[in-house]
Structures are given as structure tokens and as C-alpha cells.
Amino acid sequence: MAKRRRSGPGSGHSNQIRIIGGVHRGRRLPFPDSPGLRPTADRTRETLFNWLQPLLPGARCLDPFAGSGALGFEAASRGAGQVTLLEQNRQVAEQLEANRALLALSQVDVHQANAVDWLERSAEPFDIVFLDPPFADQLLGDCCEKLERNGWLADDPRIYLEWDLHGPAPSIPGNWVLLKEKRAGQVAFALYTR
């Protein structure tokens, strides 16, 4: 599913993301012109990956709402061992695959898939999950519950959530523990474990 994104002043070129750190630091990657597609802001990503850096080398990462691929490609650049990107929109998924090939990231897998359906299956657990669904779709609570129920989370995982400050706060499973939380503009983001 394509993330619904806002572009605005200071967001840089509206159809590119920039990898902030790791082996591909500074590389710019295109993403399609899709209504509302909004990559996670550079400042937010920098904060998130500062939180995650000690855990990234070799980690298994899942981004069920990959959109531009900003989170997944950043994780791969910084040493993640496996990154699975899910994207419902065919054109956006094809660009993710093209960017994966451009950077020769063999540890990245791209799947054109509906994330909500995908998370309904049982799975091998991931160390890090990035949950940043389209704000308007109100999917965070449902996705958190599916991650918990269907075996998607490794022991001592990290789950990143991003949501619109003007919308409802996400419903979090009772055994998840908040580690970090911040706000940036109209967005709230947090890191949990269980």
C-alpha cells in the first residue's frame, strides 16, 4: 500500500529520497509520482536510525507499507541482514525493485502485496518492523495486533510506529513497552519492544 505523503517546503525534491547513512550514504533514489506519497522525513529517519543503529547489523527488518522505501533502504545501507518491503501499488513496487537493483542490495526483497492480508499469515519473526501505514486508513492498531498474534516479532524486537498527531493514537498490545517517542511537525513516532 502506498503511504499517503505530503510534500512541502524543505522536503527536497518531491520525487526522490536520500539515504542518510551507511554504505549508500548520500545516494538519491526516485519514487513514482503517486497521489499523497510521503517519505518519512530525513530528520525523523535520522532520529529513528540513531535509536536503532546498535541493533541493525545483521537484523531482519520488515516494512509492510514500504512506499518510497526510505526506511527499508536506509536499514539495508546501515547493515541490516534482510529487509522485506511490501507495497500494494504496482508502479511503486516496480520502482522499489528498480532501486534495489540499482544499489545491488541482495538482502532486500520487494513484494507487491496488501500488507494487512500479508500480516494475517504466520511468519518467521523479524527483529525490526517499520509500521508507517497511510494515515487516513487507520491501520496501525490492526497491524500491531497481527504482528503480535501471528509470530512476526523476534525476541526483543523493535517496532517503529508513525502516525498523524491529529488522528487517534494507535492501539498498542498490552505487552509492548514504549522505549522512545518524539514529535516532528504533524507527525508522532515511537519505538516499542515487547
Task: List the domain range (segments joined by +) for residue 165.
Answer: 16-193
- 1 inside domain: no
**To 5 degrees, how large is the angle CA 31–CA 110–CA 107?**
110
**Res 13: pLDDT:** 41
- Of 60, 180, 74, the residue nearest 128 (C-alpha): 60
Say which range, 7-16, 71-80, 131-140, has the weakest mean pLDDT.
7-16
Overall number of domains in the chain: 1
- 6 inside domain: no
* CA separation for the pair 100, 98 (Å, rounded): 5
pLDDT of residue 1 exceeding 90, the answer is no
- 96 inside domain: yes
pLDDT tens, 94-150? 999 999 999 999 999 999 999 999 999 878 899 999 999 887 678 899 999 999 999
DSSP of the chain, one letter per residue?
-PPB----TTS-STTEEE--SSTTTT-EEE----TTB-PPPHHHHHHHHHHHGGG-TT-EEEETT-TT-HHHHHHHHTT-SEEEEEESSHHHHHHHHHHHHHTT-TTEEEEE--HHHHTTS----EEEEEE---GGG--HHHHHHHHHHTT-EEEEEEEEEEEETTSPPPP--TT-EEEEEEEETTEEEEEEE-
The number of C-alpha atoms within 13 Å of 88 and in the hemisphere containing its C-beta is 15
pLDDT tens, 23-61? 999 999 989 877 656 788 889 999 999 999 999 999 999
CATH number at residue 32: 3.40.50.150
93 or 7, which is more confident?
93
Say which range, 27-31, 79-83, 137-141, 158-162, has the weakest mean pLDDT.
137-141
- 28 inside domain: yes
- 105 inside domain: yes
- 62 inside domain: yes
Sheet hosting strand 108-112, strand order edge to edge: 108-112, 82-87, 60-63, 126-131, 153-164, 187-193, 177-184
Q: Give 103's contacts (C-beta < 8 A, 6+ positions apart).
A: 24, 27, 29, 73, 76, 77
